[in-house]
Amino acid sequence: MSRALLTGVSPLIHHHVRTFIPASTPLHHYTTTTPPPTPTPTSPPVLRPHQVLTYRYEPHPHPINCTTLPPTKDYLADAFHPHHLKAKRKQQAFNPTILNWRVHCPVAASGKKVVRDWCSRRARTAFQHTLQHQLRLNLDGSPQQQEDGEGRAGGKSSPPSSISSSQSAERSEGGSSRQGLKGALLVILKTETALTASSEEVRRAVEWVVESVRREDRVREFGGGKAGKKGDAGRGEKRLGKGGGKGSRSFSGGKGMQGA
Instruction: Tell me whether residue 24 is in a domain.
Output: no
Q: Please compute the mean of the pLDDT values over residues 86-92 and round it to a whole number.
A: 94
Q: Please compute the mean of the pLDDT values over residues 88-103 and round it to a whole number.
A: 94
Per the structure, the count of domains in the chain is 1
Instruction: Tell me whether residue 37 is in a domain.
Output: no
**Which residues neighbour 70 within 8 Å (Cβ) at sequence distance 6 or greater?**
245, 246
Instruction: Tell me whether residue 32 is in a domain.
Output: no
Q: Please compute the mean of the pLDDT values over residues 2-23 and round it to a whole number.
A: 53
pLDDT of residue 42: 77
Instruction: Tell me whether residue 68 is in a domain.
Output: yes
Question: pTM (2 decimals)?
Answer: 0.62
**Which residues neighbour 232 within 8 Å (Cβ) at sequence distance 6 or greater?**
60
pLDDT of residue 1: 52
Domain that holds residue 162: 49-144+158-259
Angle at 211 between CA 260 and CA 102, to 5 degrees: 15
pLDDT of residue 33: 64
